[in-house]
Amino acid sequence: MDVPAHLMSEARVERGKGRRLNARHRESLWFYLIISPWLVGLLLLLAGPMVYSIYLSFTDWNLFNAPEWVGLDNYVRLFTRDRNFGLALGNTFYYTLLYVPLNIVISLAVAYLLNKRLRGMRFFRTVIYLPYVVPVVATTMVFRWIFAPTNGQLNSLLALFGVVGPAWLLDPGWVKPALVIMSLWGMGSSVVFLLAGMQGIPTEMYEAAAIDGAGERQRFFNITLPMLSPVIFFNMIMSIISSLQTFTQIYILNADPNTPNNAINMIIPYLFDNAFRFNKMGYASAIAWVLFLIIFVFTLLVIRSSSVWVFYESEMKK
Amino acid sequence: MRNRALLLLVISLLVLSVSVAAAQEPVTLRLSVWGGLGDQEAYQARLDLAHEAFPNITVELLYTPDDYDQRIQTMMAGGDAPDIVQLAEAIHGYSSRDQLLPLNDMVTAAELDLAARFGTNYLQYQYEGSLYALPDRGGAMIVYYNVDMFDAAGIGYPTADWTWEEFLAAAQALTITDGDATSQYGFAAGGWWPWWMSFIYQNGGAVLDETGAPVINSEAVQEALQFYNDLVYTYAVAPSPQDYADLGTNSPDPLFAQGKVAMIMTGFWNISTLRDVPDINWDIAPVWGNVNRGTVAFGSGLAITSGSAHPEEAFQIINFLTDEAAQSVIVERGEDAPANVNVLNSELFLSGETFANRDIYMEAFGESADAIIALPLIPQWNEMQSVMGTTLDELFLNAIDVPTAVEQIQFDLEDLLQ
């Protein structure tokens, strides 16, 4: 049978289409194959336990006997009777509200200075980044000496200016600011992101501004800051989450019998104690979900606010 | 007839050899302990003796210096529990969760006389009528004092008859200040529970009453905590947490070894520390009292986990380890006071020659026996310690007063135990 030429070519196109589909199919097969370690890991090691922990948070479970359903008891107790949870929550918020803004302002200032063309700048950049690489355990041990009440380096320094420093880690009123100082010492990662962001800002912008007569200040606030706002946004979310999850420092300091635990304890160490020292897995799961909601709300607020203050090059300024 | 006898003999020989083979089948157990390097070596030496006595049983030593309870709990949760575990005050957290094997039947079968071997020490390892561990190490908290400082101040050495009045007078006489700085403290303690808890019981107070209800806000407890805190902030005879930080430590023991403190309270283990310290002339004494005498027994027992595949062999081992031969190793190595009463009263222990290089008053341990506090070893012991410790930290930093502290603890304990 004769087939018209135009139909022939259509048939060829059909066949070609089938081959393309096949290739696409193969590609997606490879995709799932290659990401499967993460996909399986997510489902088995993260999503599974997460869903199970929702169930556990409504039970009384000591890890060994069968979980016993208690309904909302754990949550009710957390917010009505548990004085220590209230303290841990308060301390965590206090620390976060002090640390996050200071971290953003100081790391921005430091990154700005590190962006100057000066001799030995590589050295200074290393000095700033290095503390971030030091394990928190080591940092905490060293800062115990630095914060010693009378002979500590910090108070000796303050004494040179005639200031009598507080007992820092032993004073319930000063222990949280001391923790913030300790964390700020390790702000290297925020600085590195900001520095990279600054170096990515096109020099033409500064040149154009300079020609228009903009000073150093104006250039910083009208070019550098808006162009950096996505990085600042990222740093803010990361530091909110990490400070709400502070654990290592507290765990180490609490091992010292003289540390004022009530003034220092935070949500994750309290969760850890309940889970692994007191064997209250159900209660610990409830704490975990409360913390999850808190982090979720904070992050959502920051993301919602971002349309006001975060500027992306691709968008038009309204 | 003879054939039948021969057959019987052959059969019985066969049966015997099979049963011997069954008994001789090699078994490997695991024993978990905490402590320092010296403890690890002492346990190993005792296990070597046990292996000589039971060649078919090999016991591996699992040594966990830190976060002991967490590690054991994790192993248990993972179904990988050691057969034998060393446990102390936290034991009834385990017994209440059925994680330990009740030992009563095996004790009866082995015809072990608990009272003859351990005195009353084994009672603390009972929970709801069952015994969950054999006492292994023991020894009360005692007073260590610097003889030269007492001689210089011209006052008598501490005795069991002292009340707080005499203790305070001595501590004041022994404290030397140099302007604002204190160069020698009469006494040193802090936030560790055996210290403040023994003062509470010395004054007739208690954490829990006989029914298990918290009574930490009683008059007697408040008075005791006030006195304890006044030693630091009113009489200034003991270092505050801040002083400790400035002295570069958080424990009285190094301060005593440095000759900066005249009296401390701690356990047997400090003997071996002080043995190697030159130029300190020290001795030991039983702890004083007030309304009552009161001190804490630092002990630990050996328990068998309920998941053990070889409970019979495990019991043979803990029975052997708490018997005289293995307990003597504890003394020979100067590791601790033994729980075995015969070894505790032996010349080997009382002479102190194997662990103290000087003549010290070893009778202090025996004289403490009737002053030992019945500790509230409830299943929630760890959480109870945490609840009390967090509030007492603030008290010992002088950030809150005694009535506030005890009301907070009372509230937390009632909540915990309801």
Could B242 and A149 be called an inter-chain contact, meaning their C-beta atoms sit closer than 8 Å?
yes
Contacts of A84 in chain B (CB under 8 A): 387, 390, 412
**Measured between alpha carbons, how far is A290 from B389 in angstroms, rounded to an integer?**
26
> Rounded to whole angstroms, how far apart are CA atoms A161 and A164?
9
Is the Cα dihedral B185, B187, B193, B199 positive or negative?
Answer: negative
pLDDT at A4: 52
Residue B131 forms beta bridges with which residues? B126
- How far is A206 from A189, CA to CA, in rounded Å? 26
> B286 and B360 in contact (C-beta within 8 Å)?
no
B248 touches chain A (CB under 8 A): yes
The model's confidence at residue B21, banded by pLDDT at 50, 70 and 90, is very low
What is the rounded distance in angstroms from the CA atom of residue B411 to the CA atom of residue A270? 18
B398 vs A: CB within 8 A: no
State the residue for tokens 């303050």: A158
- Residues from chain A that touch B390, judged by Cβ atoms under 8 A, are 84, 261-262, 265
Q: How far apart are CA B20 and CA B170, in angstroms?
A: 66
Please compute the mean of the pLDDT values over residues B123-131 and round it to a whole number: 90
Higher pLDDT, A230 or B70: A230
- Nearest Cβ partner for A257 among B73, B242, B250: B250
Tokens 């509030």 locate to B391
Q: What average pLDDT does the segment B17-28 reach?
A: 64
> Residue A68 has which token pair?
């016993």
DSSP states of B314-367: HHHHHHHHTSHHHHHHHHHTT--EES-HHHHTSHHHHH-TTT-SS---THHHHH
Q: Pick from A62, A262, A278: which is nearest to B394 by CB?
A: A262
Looking at residue B1, its pLDDT comes to: 45
How confident is the model over B124-141, as a mean pLDDT?
A: 91
Q: Six-digit token pair at B331? A: 């003394």
Q: What is the pLDDT of residue B7?
A: 56
Low-confidence ranges of chain A (pLDDT < 70): 1-21, 314-318
| Nearest chain A residue to B71, by CA | A276
Q: Give the contacts of A272 (CB within 8 A, at least 6 positions apart).
A: A247, A251, A284
B65 shares contact with chain A (CB less than 8 Å): no
Q: Smallest CA–CA separation between A199 and chain B, in Å?
A: 45
User: Which amino acid, A107?
Assistant: S
Instruction: Return the closest-CA partner of residue A140 out of A251, A220, A217.
Output: A251
pLDDT in tens, B268-295: 988 888 888 888 999 999 999 999 999 9
Chain A residue numbers touching B242 (CB-CB < 8 A): 149-150, 167, 170
Q: What is the DSSP letter of B85?
A: E
Structure tokens at B347: 């010349």
ipTM comes to 0.75
Give the whole-angstrom CA distance, residue B326 versus residue B342.
12
Residues of A with CB under 8 A from a CB of B: 62-65, 81-84, 148-151, 167, 169-172, 256-263, 265, 273, 276-279
Query: What are the residues facing B63 on neighbouring strands?
Result: B33
Q: Residue B183 has which token pair? A: 């160069």
The Cα diameter of chain B in Å comes to 104
CA pair distance A254, A259, nearest whole angstrom = 6
Report the C-alpha gap between B94 and B90 in whole angstroms: 7
User: 3-class DSSP state for residue A138?
Assistant: helix
d(Cα B65, Cα A313) in Å, to the nearest integer? 56
Using an 8 Å Cβ cutoff, are A192 and A200 in contact? Answer: no
Determine the 3-state secondary structure of B196 from DSSP.
helix
CA distances from A187 to A109, A120, A137, A192 (A): 12, 20, 16, 9
Cα atoms found within 13 Å of the Cα of residue B384, Cβ hemisphere only: 24
How many C-beta atoms surround the C-beta of residue A104 within 10 A? 18
Distance CA B367, CA B363 (A): 6
* A258·B399 Cβ contact <8 A: no
- Top residue of A137, A145, A273, A277 to mutate, by most chain B CBs within 10 Å, is A277
Interface list for B 83-142 with A (CB within 8 A): 93, 97-99
Identify whether the C-beta of residue A266 lies closer than 8 Å to the C-beta of residue A250: yes
Q: Which of B112, B61, B113, B68 is nearest to B94 (CA)?
A: B68
For residues A166 and A148, what is the distance between their CA atoms, to the nearest angstrom?
9
d(CA A302, CA A235): 11
- Report which of residues B138 and A178 the model is more confident about: A178
For chain A, the helix, strand and coil percentages under 3-state DSSP, each to the nearest 5: 75, 0, 25
Q: How many CB atoms within 10 Å of residue B362? A: 21
Task: Name the residue with tokens 């050691």.
Answer: B82
Cβ A277–B386 below 8 Å, yes or no? yes
Residue with tokens 């016991």: B59
Q: Quick check: helix, strand or coil at residue B143?
A: strand
Strand partners, B188: B264
Residue B273, amino acid: T
Residue pair B374/B201 in contact (Cβ under 8 Å)? The answer is no
> Please, which pLDDT band fits residue B5 given cuts at 50, 70 and 90?
low
Name the CA radius of gyration of chain B, rounded: 24
Tokens representing A194 are 């900001």
Structure tokens that stand for B202 in this block: 């010395």
More confident residue, B179 or B378: B378
Contact at CB, B76 and A82, closer than 8 angstroms? no
A64: chain B residues, CB-CB within 8 Å: 76-77, 97-99
- Summarised one tens digit per residue, pLDDT across range A6-19 is 554 554 545 555 55
Of A256, A258, A273, the CB nearest to B386: A273
Distance from A119 to chain B by nearest Cα, in Å? 40
Residues of A in contact with B196 (CB under 8 A): none
Q: What is the pLDDT of residue B2?
A: 52
CB contact under 8 A, B389 and A265: no
Classify burial at A275, counting beta carbons within 10 Å of its beta carbon; exposed 0-12, middle 13-18, buried 19 or more: buried
Q: Residue with structure tokens 């007992």?
A: A167
Asked if the Cβ–Cβ distance from A64 to B97 is below 8 Å, we say yes
| Tens of pLDDT, residues B143-202 | 999 999 999 999 999 999 999 999 999 999 999 998 888 999 999 999 999 999 999 999
B111 φψ region: left (φ > 0), alpha (ψ -120 to 50), beta (else): left
- Measured CA to CA, the distance from residue A227 to residue A236 in angstroms comes to 15
Among B69, B246, B386, select the one facing A148 at the smallest CB separation: B246
Long-range contacts, stretch B228-236, CB < 8 angstroms, 24+ apart? B228/B189, B228/B195, B228/B196, B228/B199, B229/B395, B229/B396, B229/B398, B229/B402, B231/B168, B231/B171, B231/B187, B231/B189, B232/B396, B232/B398, B233/B398, B235/B168, B235/B171, B235/B172, B236/B175, B236/B177, B236/B182
Please answer whether residues B59 and B47 qualify as being in contact, where contact means their C-beta atoms are separated by less than 8 angstroms. Answer: yes
* Strands annotated E in B54-111: 57-63, 84-87
Residue B120: the pLDDT is 78
pLDDT at B18: 47
Residue B317 near residue B254 (C-beta atoms within 8 A): no
